[in-house]
Amino acid sequence: MSTIISDVIDHLAGVQPGSSLDRLRDQRPQAREYAQKSYLALFEPELPGHVTAIERYAVATFVAGLHRQPNVTEFYAASLERLGHPKLTDAIREEIARGSVEGPYGRYPQGPLTIEDSEGPVYQVSTDNRERLGSRLVAALEHAHLLVFHPRDASPAALQRLLDAGWSTTDIVTLSQLVAFLSFQIRVVAGLRVLVGASSRASVDADQTQIFTGVLASGAV
C-alpha cells in the first residue's frame, strides 16, 4: 500500500499535491515525514514482533470507527478485509456500533478534581463476538476503547487484563502506540479536512466574485 500512497494523512485528508495546504504541511517537513514513518512502523514494521498484521488492522479499524471518521475507518477496514477475514471485519463493525460513545470522560484521583469526574460506560466486547475475535483481540479492543474514550481511567489492572490474554510487555507497548498514534493521525486528518473544506469554499467564493466581476464588465447586469 505504501508504494501507492506516499502520505496517508494527505490521502485521507484530501490534500492535493501543489495545493496551499500541501505547501503548508511542507513547512513542518520532519513532522510530515515522521508521521508517515510512524504509520509505516506500526502497519508495515520491519520487525513485527508478536503483534500480527490482522491484530494491527483490526484495532485500527475499531479505533477509527469509534472516532466516527468513515473514510479513515474504510481505509483500515480495506486492509483488514484484504487479509481475508470478512467475518472478522463484520465483528469489528458490530463492536464499533456497540462501543460508540462520547469522550473524554473518566475519573481523577480523589481530591479537588473529583467534581470534574464524568461517568461513562465501561465497554466490553459482546458475548457473541468474544469467540469470533478470540481472547487476545477481545482484550485489545477493550483496552483500545479505554484509551480512546477515558484514558485517565487507565490502571495496572487494565494492563493485567492484557497480560492475562497473552499480550507481552513489549506487545502492550506496540498496542498502546498503535491506539495513541491513531488518536493523533485521525485528528490531523479531521483538522486538515476542515481546512481543506474552508479553503475550497474560499476559492469557490473567489471564483464567484470573478464571475460576478466578469458579468459586471460585460455590462450584462
Partner 1 sequence: MTETPLSHPENREPIAFTQEELGWLPWLEPFPTEQLTERHWAGLVDASRAKSPYFLLLARDPDILQARTKTDKDIFYNTSNGLPRAERELAATAASRSNGCIFCASVHSRFATQYSKRGADVQRLLDEGVEADIDSRWNAIIEASVALTDTPIAFGDEQVGALRAAGLGDPEIVDVINGAAFFNWANRLMLSLGEPTPPAKP
Three-state SS at 36: helix
Among 3, 27, 127, 218, binds partner 1 (CB under 8 A): 27
CB of 2: closest distance to partner 1 in angstroms? 14
The three cell numbers locating residue 69: 471518521
How far apart are alpha carbons 47 and 41 in whole angstroms? 9
CB of 217: closest distance to partner 1 in angstroms? 30
Query: CB of 59 within 8 A of CB of 144?
Result: yes
Using a CB cutoff of 8 Å and minimum separation of 24, what contacts does 195-198 make?
Answer: 195/21, 196/13, 196/14, 196/15, 196/19, 196/21
Kindly state whether residue 195 participates in binding partner 1, applying the rule CB under 8 A: yes
The single-letter DSSP state of residue 108 is P
Three-state SS at 106: strand
CB-wise, 156 or 219, nearer to partner 1?
156
The single-letter DSSP state of residue 166 is T
CB-wise, 83 or 195, nearer to partner 1?
195
Among 49, 70, 121, 214, binds partner 1 (CB under 8 A): 49
CB-wise, 45 or 214, nearer to partner 1?
45
* Residues numbered 70-99 forming contacts with partner 1, rule: CB under 8 A: none
How far apart are alpha carbons 73 and 93 in whole angstroms? 10
Kindly state whether residue 146 participates in binding partner 1, applying the rule CB under 8 A: yes
Kindly state whether residue 54 participates in binding partner 1, applying the rule CB under 8 A: no
Kindly state whether residue 179 participates in binding partner 1, applying the rule CB under 8 A: yes
CB-wise, 2 or 213, nearer to partner 1?
2
Kindly state whether residue 181 participates in binding partner 1, applying the rule CB under 8 A: yes
Taking contact as CB under 8 A, which single stretch among the options 53-61, 85-93, 129-137, 166-174 is the one that binds partner 1? 166-174
How far apart are alpha carbons 98 and 120 in whole angstroms? 14
CA distances from 131 to 60, 163, 210, 216 (A): 20, 18, 61, 69
Three-state SS at 7: coil
Among 85, 93, 94, 103, binds partner 1 (CB under 8 A): 103
Kindly state whether residue 122 participates in binding partner 1, applying the rule CB under 8 A: no
Kindly state whether residue 194 participates in binding partner 1, applying the rule CB under 8 A: yes
